[in-house]
Structures are given as C-alpha cells and as structure tokens.
Amino acid sequence: MLGPVTPEDLAHLRRARDLMDREYAKPLDVPAMARAALMSPSHFARQFRAAYGETPYGYLMTRRIERAKALLRLGTLSVTEVCVEVGCTSLGSLHRTGGRDPLRLPRKGARLAGRGTGMPPQGPHETEQVSRSVAVPPYLGSRPMKLSHTFLFVHDQDAALKFYRDVIGLEVRTDETVENDYRWLTVGPADQPDIEIGLSRIGPPIPPTDYEALNALLAKGSLQGIIFTVDDVDAKFDQVRAAGAEVLQEPIDQFYGVRDCAFRDPSGNMIRFSSARSAQR
C-alpha cells in the first residue's frame, strides 16, 4: 500500500515534472524521469500519480499537446512539423495517447485571429477568459490605489535572499526581525522602488493546521510564482542560468505575443521572464 508522499519526495518529483516541462520534445521514458527524481521507476510512477493525480506519461503527453496547440496558433509550422517539434512521430499519436486535453486542430481563422494582438485566439474549443470593461463606481475610481506588496512562500529565507538578490538581481528592501521572531524580508526591482516582494516562511500568522498543506504545495511547485518583464529574454536567461539557477523552460516564442523563459527558486516557486516578441525579433 502506498504511504504518504513526504516533502522531500515532493521536491524530487517536482524536478522530474520540470524535466518533462522542459524536455517534452525528447524521447523521455519513465526510467529517465525516475532518475531525475532519484527513485526507482516503479516507485516513481506510484509516487508521481499520488502527488499529481495522473501518470508520468499522461502528464508528459499533456505538455506535448499544450505546446502543439500553441505552435498551431502561431501558424508558422505545418501539422506534421508541429508533431515532430513536440516529440511525436505523427498527428495520430497526439490523438491516441494520454493527456488531460486531447489535441483539436483549430480552424484557420481562429488560429490567425489573435496574431499580432498579444491575445490568445478564440477558437471553438477554447475556454480562455475574455476581458470586459466594467464601470467603476465614482466613489472608488476617484481614490488613488497602487500595488505595494506581494508575497511568496519560501522554505528557507536565507536561501531565498541569496537567490533573489545575487541570482535574479533584486534589491533588498527590508530585512528585519520583529516580534515572535518573525522575519520581515522583502526585495524588489531597482526600477520599481514602490514594489516589494515579501519572502515569507510558512509559519505564524498562518494557522498551524495549514502548515503541512502549504509545505506540500510549495514542494510540488503548485503555488503561483511571479513574472518579470525584461528587454532581452535570451540575455537574461543566459545570465540566470550561468548563476546556477534551476531551469524550468528555455526561451521560446509563445502564441500570445511574448517570448519567455522560466526558472525555479530554491523553494520551488516559478520565476518567469518575458518580453514582447516584437522587441526581440
């Protein structure tokens, strides 16, 4: 009988999942994924399903299908070329194999609708959110409001500080210990002095009953991360990778008008760098 998945195992499983996210186009098999998780193939397959709710191969095929859809929306490759690009030998293999959302070919008009706008196209099978203008009551619209703080959970504040300051290049805004040994640690971009990113450990004032769940989500890489805009994604990627950061995604063009890349911080949070494709190419 399968026992509980420990936080240490979750961190190893996350690295295997990141391998699939990063190298989906390569001929990955369960033994290769298991090596990334430092587990035997059978133990890895059981633990992965317990942690993420699907088999490793099903997760891999979901990633391939998602990337295939994005490439089809770009409209620059044929269907056959897209299949090869995402690591499949034929279109049929994308239809037949696992994944949560089978590939459906978008209509030509739908695929081209969003080109040049920076917005995802609206096809017959898409369920993307549509922005709508909503009138703001006068008593709200007349009051200035700016974002000042946002927060990330981290396992180790010292490791997080070293990463965000020395690897990403953020400034330290506050690093103070207040009552009950709570460490108020914030960083931020040099060009945005009014924005602070809090690097918070899981502890008070969060209820103790939530510690285990939050630690598991963080170890799995399931919490939301942050996105930075930069002038040159490829240069930033080279800089951060050279500093030893864990690569989640190398720079690629996205169908919604950006070129981006992604890394993991020491706790497993996703850090993404993005720029408009027109500014890159």
Annotated domain spans of the chain = 7-113, 149-280
Residue 113, φ and ψ in degrees, nearest 5: -60, -35
Angle in degrees, 0-180, between the axes of helices 41-52 and 56-74, rounded to the nearest 10 = 60
d(CA 246, CA 14): 12
Residue 151, φ and ψ in degrees, nearest 5: -135, 145
Q: Do domains 7-113 and 149-280 have the same CATH topology?
A: no
d(CA 118, CA 279): 13
pLDDT in tens, 118-130: 334 433 343 344 4
Strands (E), the chain: 149-154, 171-177, 183-188, 196-201, 226-229, 246-253, 258-264, 270-276
Task: Show Cβ contacts of residue 199 under 8 Å, excluding neighbours closer than 6 positions.
Answer: 151, 152, 154, 157, 160, 161, 164, 185, 186, 187
d(CA 189, CA 196): 8
What pLDDT shows up at residue 95? 57
Strand bridging mode 258-264 / 246-253: antiparallel
Superfamily designation of domain 7-113: Homeodomain-like (1.10.10.60)
Residue with more model confidence, 281 or 47: 47
d(CA 55, CA 17): 11
* pTM for the model: 0.69
Residue with more model confidence, 193 or 280: 193
pLDDT in tens, 250-268: 999 988 889 999 999 999 9
Q: Are 15 and 9 in contact (CB under 8 A)?
A: no
Give the DSSP letter of residue 106: P
What pLDDT shows up at residue 83? 86
Give the DSSP letter of residue 99: -
Residue 167: pLDDT above 50? yes
Q: Are 201 and 183 in contact (CB under 8 A)?
A: yes
pLDDT in tens, 205-262: 788 888 989 999 999 999 989 999 999 999 999 999 999 999 999 999 988 889 999 9
Is the domain covering 149-280 a CATH 3.10.180.10 domain?
yes
d(CA 69, CA 63): 10
Q: Are 171 and 186 in contact (CB under 8 A)?
A: no
